[in-house]
Amino acid sequence: FSVCSDHDRPDDRNNNNNKYAEFLRQMAPGCGINEDCAIIADTYQDQLEYPIRELSFWAWSEVPGGGPRTLKTGPWSLGDRGERISLEGKLKKESEKRFGEHEFDVVISDSISVQRSIPDSRSLACQARRYSQLLPNASVIICFHNEAWSALSRSLWSVVNRTPRELLKEIILVDDASYFNYTYDPRSGQSLQIFAQSFTNVTVRLLRSDERLGLVKARLLGARNATGQTLVFLDSHVECNRGWLPPLLERILASRSTIACPVIDVVSHVDFSYVSTNARNRGGFNWNLDFYWFPAGADGFNKNNNKRRGTPVMAGGIYAIDAKYFWQVGAYDEGMSIWGSENIEMSIRVWTCGGRIEIIPCSRVGHIFRGRNPVGFPEGVGRTVNRNKARVADVWLDDHANLFYGSLMVNDLWDDKLVSGDLAERFELRKRMNCHSFRWYLETVFPESKFPIDLTFIGSIELHGSDLCLGSDSVTNEVMLSRCRDPPGRRQLFVITGKGHLVQEGVGLQSTSTLQLRMSKSYRDTWNFTGSKIILTSTSPPLCLASNVKSSTPSIADCGKKLGNKWNLKKFSK
Ligand code: LR7
Ligand code: MN
């Protein structure tokens, strides 16, 4: 009998077998059998950190007579080891039909075990780490609205199976007004309530709101009922990986005003494969207040994948926070409804009011990323999401709020008046906590952002005596003149920075050697606005922005020319 490392498989990132091999050798010395080692381990199950199904993943046995090693098939089932699944025939048809229900393949989700094994995506150094005995305990809070039963229970099982008991104070499920048919197991008919009660050595509590709360209020409901020293929020379609929790709690133990986030791996919404992601990503947001990932820069991190690092913004759904600190730092903005932007609000707030947000590469949680959001927005997606964004902008962005409003209203033709609602409590919080400015945040926390720091002008640039505005194609970066407030895709919002650059998000207006114009990522040209002329000051003699109304292609010309070089700067404000 032997248990071996599986270096043999080229695609395998999991070399964590040695400690299990060692464990088994100790527990079953010289047992010499050629049985599935799960049988041996079964005897010692309560001494194992992980349940038996998981263990079988790691166990190999040797073929008698010294042949090639074969992987013991053990109790494999579809999707085990995080492998991809494809359906055929009738099932495939059904899966296509039902895809829109959750925007992931629910037929596949239903057909794989809710306790499937997944590859350990941590680095070897992370796998070898040991953690303090003094870690605080956690209340794990999972909110959901109309989640697929199999995805929700797989999330729950992944917590139950991969979290040391002593750290798990409780799991709180918050059912945010799910329709009746999402509150029981479609196969067994077991209700969520009964399912939650069926766990014996873990407390699983189910809270339910009959009124749709949205994820912010649902999380607050969970948090108010939580009794753990830390709160750990999860989306309802995740798979927590091996050893996911201790690294997060360890960081909070060291610094209770730090929010600790795992690296978020990808569970494919199409085939349910578990795919490890680049541990180096960090989160940011653009002028539209949309979240994006960007690679961690030259902060020494490139040399060490395992090092924790600050992130300007967290993804938002999966993080651990000290329970007292959560309330102290202002919990959530209850004025935000359904979905969106709460992660940006919380990130700016925590950083500027004295805390930190970090990604901890030794912690890994898989999440089903979807192309579209399947949940209903009672007031419509656009209105809801934009109102949430407006609340972030109004409270936290200072002068830069007009970049958000401007890019929404000038570039995207958002005509509705955006009403952000009552913000008094949030303003009061910002004042009481004596938080830094947005400028401080940009300079200190998010220098990689595409937000210029000094803004001397935000608005559009109209050709005098016409209804034409300077703009650029957001894909090709071509500069053009087109009807003011043209359809989306033609950016017409411009900023003049303190340095005299004329910029749009991430690009600056740049003259070429043939006196043409382009928006370009690397820019050096500076401009000056005097009277009605826009003067290129980085060349000598100075030249002027000019346009021939007919050709609608602006260019650079001699300032003395009469036609088409008069412009009106139309300052934008909400
Ligand atoms: O009305 C609602 N009530 C809810 O309980 C709407 C949603 N929800 C639940 C929902 O069932 C889910 O469990 O809230 C959770 C998050 O909703 P998703 O899964 O639709 O969000 P997402 O994964 O598309 O989006 C990310 O950004 C959101 C902004 O509001 C939240 O912060 C999500 O938690 C967040 N998800 C993650 O951070 C996981 C990693 C994804 C990334 C990047
Ligand atoms: Mn999600």
Residue nearest to atom 24 of ligand 1 (CA): 373
**For residue 374, which ligand has an atom nearest its CA?**
1
> Minimum-distance ligand to the CA of 142?
1
pLDDT beyond 70 at 563: no
Q: How far apart are CA 221 and CA 178, in angstroms?
A: 15
CA dihedral sign, ordered 434, 316, 235, 143: positive
Give the CA distances from residue 336 to residues 177, 214, 339, 378, in Å, rounded to whole numbers and listed in that order: 17, 8, 8, 13
- Between the CA of 328 and the centroid of ligand 1 the distance, in Å, is 23
DSSP letter at 183 equals S
- Which phi and psi angles does 183 have, rounded to 5°? -105, 10
The pLDDT of 137-149, averaged and rounded, is 98
Amino acid type, 109: S
Distance 339 CA to ligand 2 centre (A): 10
Q: Which atom of ligand 1 is nearest to the CA of 142?
A: 13
Tens-place pLDDT, residues 453-494: 999 999 999 998 888 899 999 899 999 998 888 767 789 999
3-state secondary structure 446-504: CCCCCCCCCEEEEEEEEECCCCEEEEEECCCCEEEEEECCCCCCEECCEEEECCCCEEE
DSSP annotation string for 538-573: TSSS-EEEE--TTT---EEE-TT--TT--EEEEE--
How many beta carbons lie within 10 A of that of residue 475, not counting itself?
A: 7
Mean pLDDT computed over 93-100: 95
Q: Calculate mean pLDDT across residues 274-288.
A: 90
Residue among 234, 235, 266, 294 to mutate when testing ligand 1 (max atoms within 8 A of CB): 235
Mean pLDDT (whole number) for 169-196 = 95
240 CA distance to ligand 1 centroid (A)?
A: 16
The yes-or-no verdict on residue 119 having pLDDT over 50 is yes
* Ligand 1 mutation target, pool 339, 363, 370, most atoms within 8 A of CB: 339
- Cα 383 to averaged position of ligand 1 atoms, centre (Å): 17
Which pLDDT belongs to residue 126?
85
pLDDT in tens, 51-88: 433 333 333 333 233 333 333 344 557 888 898 999 98
Give the number of whichever ligand sits closest to the CA of residue 174.
Answer: 1
Q: Which helix (H) or strand (E) holds 315?
A: none
Candidates 2.60.120.650, 3.40.630.10, 3.90.550.10, 3.20.20.70; correct CATH number of 135-368? 3.90.550.10
pLDDT bucket at 23, cuts 50 / 70 / 90: low
The single-letter code of the amino acid at 53 is R
Distance of CA 440 to the CA centre of its chain: 23
Mean pLDDT calculated for residue range 267-276: 96
Interatomic CA distance for residues 253 and 233, integer angstroms: 17
**Looking at the CA of 216, which ligand is closest?**
1
d(C-alpha 387, C-alpha 313), whole Å:
19
Q: In 267-352, which residue ranges form alpha helices assigned H by DSSP?
A: 323-328, 342-352
Q: Which CATH class is domain 381-444?
A: mainly alpha
Report which of 341, 174, 139 is spatially closest to residue 245, judged by C-alpha positions: 139
Q: Which atom of ligand 1 sits closest to the CA of residue 338?
A: 1
Q: How far is the CA of 208 from the centre of ligand 1 (A)?
A: 18
What are the residues whose beta carbons fall under 8 Å from the beta carbon of 361, sequence distance 6 or more?
122, 123, 126, 263, 279, 305, 306, 307, 308
Q: Which of 130, 235, 150 is nearest to 190 (CA)?
A: 150
The backbone region for 410, taken as left when phi is positive above 0, alpha when psi lies in -120 to 50, beta otherwise, is alpha
Q: Mean pLDDT, to the nearest integer, of 312-324?
A: 98
Using the mean position of ligand 2's atoms as its centre, give its distance from the Cα of residue 55 in Å: 28
**Look-up: residue for tokens 């873990």?**
202
The residue contributing the CA closest to ligand 1 atom 1 is 214
Q: List all residues whose CB is within 6 A of at least one atom of ligand 1.
A: 143-145, 147, 176, 212, 214-215, 218, 235-236, 264, 315-318, 338-340, 342-343, 367, 373, 375
Q: Which residue has the tokens 């958002």?
A: 414
* Residue bearing tokens 């979290």: 163
Contact by Cβ (8 Å): 81, 272:
no
Sorted by where each begins, the domain ranges of the chain are 1-83, 135-368, 381-444, 455-571
CA–CA distances in Å: residue 74 to residues 3, 53, 158, 262, 264: 14, 8, 20, 30, 29
- Looking at residue 24, its pLDDT comes to 53
Q: Is the pLDDT of residue 26 over 70?
A: no
pLDDT value of position 254: 94
Instruction: Examine the pLDDT at 47 and tell me if it is beyond 60.
Output: no
Residue 419 CA, ligand 1 centroid: distance in Å? 23
Question: What pairs with residue 208 in β-bridges?
Answer: 175
User: Which CATH class for the 455-571 domain?
Assistant: mainly beta
Q: Is the pLDDT confidence value at 565 over 70?
A: yes
Query: Interface pTM (ipTM) of the complex?
Result: 0.98
Q: What is the pLDDT of residue 262?
A: 97
Q: What's the rounded mean pLDDT across residues 284-295?
A: 95
pLDDT of 33 over the 70 cut: no
The pLDDT confidence band at residue 219, using thresholds 50, 70 and 90, is very high
DSSP letter at 184 equals B
Q: Which residues contact 188 (CB under 8 A, 6 or more apart)?
A: none
- How many CB atoms sit inside 10 A of residue 513's CB? 5
Task: With beta carbons less than 8 A apart as the criterion, state whether 22 and 41 touch.
Answer: no
Percent of the chain whose predicted confidence (pLDDT) is above 70: 83
Ligand index nearest the alpha carbon of residue 389: 1
Distances, alpha carbon 214 to alpha carbons 124, 336, 349, 378, 388, in Å: 39, 8, 20, 10, 12
570 burial (CB, 10 Å; 0-12 / 13-18 / 19+) is: middle
Confidence of residue 150 (pLDDT cuts 50, 70, 90): very high
Ligand 1 atom closest to residue 237's alpha carbon, by position in its atom list: 13
Instruction: State how far the alpha carbon of 417 is from the alpha carbons of 195, 390, 403, 410, 573, in Å.
Output: 46, 11, 16, 13, 12
Residue minimizing CA distance to atom 5 of ligand 1: 144
Residue 444 DSSP SS3? helix
For 23, 33, 40, the CA distances from 26, given in Å and listed in that order, are 5, 15, 11
**Is the pLDDT at 10 greater than 80, yes or no?**
no
Mutate to test the pocket of ligand 1, among 101, 176, 215 (most ligand atoms within 8 A of CB): 215
